[in-house]
Amino acid sequence: SVLMTPLATGCGMVSSTRWAEQTVIAMKYFVEAVEKPEVWRRMTWEDVFRKEVELNATWETGCELVTVVEVLGS
């Protein structure tokens, strides 16, 4: 079992939607790192940027999650 409290919501002024989106992304990255550690060990700065773009999308108006392909154009 894992307990995750949304500490940034409320006083931190982060919406529950944004918190949920970022939490899902964090869990996705964790699972990817556990299942494919060799990929995560060899990440380049471009790979890191692609992850950052996905996370930054949660800060855009409306908190719409866009994929890296949509942002970078494949």
Q: What is the pLDDT of residues 33-53, one digit of tens each?
A: 999 999 999 999 999 998 898
Tokens 């990255």 found at: 29
In 3D space, the residue among 33, 24, 11 whose CA is nearest the CA of residue 54 turns out to be 24
In angstroms, how far is CA 29 from the centroid of its own chain?
7
- 10/54: higher pLDDT: 54
Residue 20 confidence (pLDDT) above 70:
yes
pTM of the complete model: 0.68
> What is the Cα–Cα distance from 56 to 50, expressed in whole angstroms?
10
Q: Are the CB atoms for 28 and 36 separated by under 8 Å?
A: no
Tokens 């996705």 found at: 28
